[in-house]
Structure 1
Amino acid sequence: MTRPKVGIIGNSYLINDEYPAHAGGTMNSEAVAEVAGCMPLLIPSDPRFLSVEELLESFDGFLLTGGRPNVHPNEYGEAETDAHGAFDRARDAIALPLVRACVERGQPFLGICRGFQEVNVAMGGTLYPEIRDLPGRMNHRMPPDGTLEEKFAMRHIVELTEGGVFHRLFGAAEVMTNSLHGQGIKAPGSRIVIDGTAPDGTPEAIYVKDAPGFTLAVQWHPEWDAANDPVSRPLFTAFGDAVRDWADGTGARSHRKSA
């Protein structure tokens, strides 16, 4: 029996500074396959090769991954500065309209790090280019040195809204997470509910209010050790359940051609 298909939004890279490639972290595929129980397929996120409409009809759900390039500030009405870092405008052109279409259709997605920021921008929100430069904020960036285990180690708690979506999912009012991001939410977009924050007030967990489907997104990286981590596992399990519901017809499907 074929597993439901999850499209993993890829990033553009240059291998050896000269060979263009689309890539996605292996741990994303592991989390989708081993915890969510779905078939992971990497999407070359570039409108030259595919359309949002084709993606919606080809996949049952989407994983909006992290990545070094940031959402271009033009997408939320601000000018580009050196602090905004590198960009991937092709991914912007696919991911942002894809989020909006999934929200409308009820098609599930899970946002991670840059994907978290994409969900906010897609719904009309804005971003700070560098969280650590703000008064009273901690440095949320990945440690520059050390092993992968050290870089993805637990860094801070996330305080969840009492009785909220994430509180119910994790069964706890606060959880420990890793932290590997530089940017963060400045103003939440329309219908964006901030459901969890770091101790310094940085938004860490969101969803789209009144959306018919699964729209959870987190600023940390739950794909790391997802099979064993007590926070990552229920998040990917719930995502996989939502994808299966969509695939078998019990999820929101009013805008699908087959409806």
Structure 2
Amino acid sequence: MTRPVIGIIGNSYAIDDRYPVHAVGRMNSEAVSEVSDCIPMLVASDPALVSVEELLEICDGFVLTGGRPNIHPEEYGEEPTEAHGAFDRERDALTLPLVRACVARGQPILGICRGFQEVNVALGGTLHPEIRDLPGRDNHRMPPDGTLEEKFALRHEVTFAEGGVFHRLMGSRNVMTNTLHGQGIVRSGKGIVIDGHAPDGTPEAVYIDGAPGFALAVQWHPEWNAANDPVSRCLFEALGDAARAWQAGERGLALRSA
């Protein structure tokens, strides 16, 4: 039996501001291959090129990556403003129904940063465009300067609910994470359980209550240094285990709170 296939949702970019590509960060592919022990498959995030049904058939699980464009606020009933930033409507059109299909089927998904927000919006939740503007909140955005090591450095603690899914997965209620995001959850989508918070109260880790399979999302970027960081390693190993179970035809292996 070959390794399970994990579809990694790509983002649209322009090389030299003129050559359009779909791309996935190498660190995502390395985390899936080396830590999850699965085959990383780059997914062109455009429903004109690939359908949700085809992806569900080909892949054993999915990583919903981060990305500079944000989910268009029309997807959660709001008008766009300058604070909402750039958008990728093609990715919205593919990932939001993909999330709903995976949750319904129990097919494994791991949401990261924008992917965290996609999971929430797909299930009816809403987002704030710039959480650093909220009273009492910190600036969670990527530092504008410095090396990749400095940008992805561990910057704040995340505290998980006692006995919750992430507490049991990590073996600890408190972990250190990086932070490179501007948006955050306002209203949770149906079934979304906020299982971890930053010190300023920002939601950082969620699972889907009642989902028949592995469905987790985090606001930080665990793909960075995934092989060596114990927090990141836990997430990608769990994703790999869930994908192998799906490949073997096992169902109903959802992570649930105690």
Normalised by the length of structure 2, the TM-score is 0.97
1:210 aligns with 2:187: no
> Following TM superposition, by how much is the alpha carbon of 1:250 offset from its aligned partner in structure 2, in angstroms?
1.2
Could you tell me which amino acid in structure 2 is paired with residue 159 of structure 1? T
> Following TM superposition, by how much is the alpha carbon of 1:252 offset from its aligned partner in structure 2, in angstroms?
4.4
Residue in 1 aligned with 2:200? 200
Question: Gaps (5+ residues) in structure 2?
Answer: 254-258
Alpha-carbon separation, structure 2, partners of 1:19 and 1:232:
33
Alpha-carbon separation, structure 2, partners of 1:8 and 1:2:
18
Residue deviations 1:197-227 (CA, integer Å, cap 9, x gap):
0000000000110100000000000000000
Q: What secondary structure does 2:127 align onto?
A: strand
Could you tell me which amino acid in structure 1 is paired with residue 119 of structure 2? V
Equivalent residue pairs, number: 253
Residue in 2 aligned with 1:101? 101
Residue deviations 1:24-49 (CA, integer Å, cap 9, x gap):
00000000000000000100010110
Q: What secondary structure does 2:150 align onto?
A: helix
- CA RMSD across the alignment: 0.9
1:220 aligns with 2:220: yes
Residue in 1 aligned with 2:60? 60
Alpha-carbon separation, structure 2, partners of 1:50 and 1:112:
21
Could you tell me which amino acid in structure 2 is paired with residue 213 of structure 1? G
Flag the 1:56–1:252 CA change in 2: closer, same or farther, 3 A. farther
Residue in 2 aligned with 1:178? 178
Q: What secondary structure does 1:116 align onto?
A: helix
Q: What secondary structure does 2:215 align onto?
A: coil
Alpha-carbon separation, structure 2, partners of 1:202 and 1:252:
30
Q: What secondary structure does 1:231 align onto?
A: helix
Residue deviations 1:230-249 (CA, integer Å, cap 9, x gap):
10001110110000000011
Alignment of 1:37-186 (within 5 A): 37-186=37-186
Q: What secondary structure does 2:71 align onto?
A: coil
Alpha-carbon separation, structure 1, partners of 2:140 and 2:6:
28
Residue deviations 1:64-118 (CA, integer Å, cap 9, x gap):
0000000000000000000000000000000000000000000000000000000
Residue deviations 1:138-157 (CA, integer Å, cap 9, x gap):
00000000000000000000
Residue in 2 aligned with 1:247? 247
Residue in 2 aligned with 1:4? 4
Could you tell me which amino acid in structure 2 is paired with residue 196 of structure 1? G
Could you tell me which amino acid in structure 2 is paired with residue 94 of structure 1? L
CA contact (8 A) 1:10 1:44 kept: yes
Alpha-carbon separation, structure 1, partners of 2:99 and 2:47:
15
Could you tell me which amino acid in structure 2 is paired with residue 190 of structure 1? K
CA contact (8 A) 1:242 1:251 kept: no
Normalised by the length of structure 1, the TM-score is 0.97
> Following TM superposition, by how much is the alpha carbon of 1:251 offset from its aligned partner in structure 2, in angstroms?
2.5
Alpha-carbon separation, structure 2, partners of 1:251 and 1:63:
19
Identity of aligned residues (%): 74
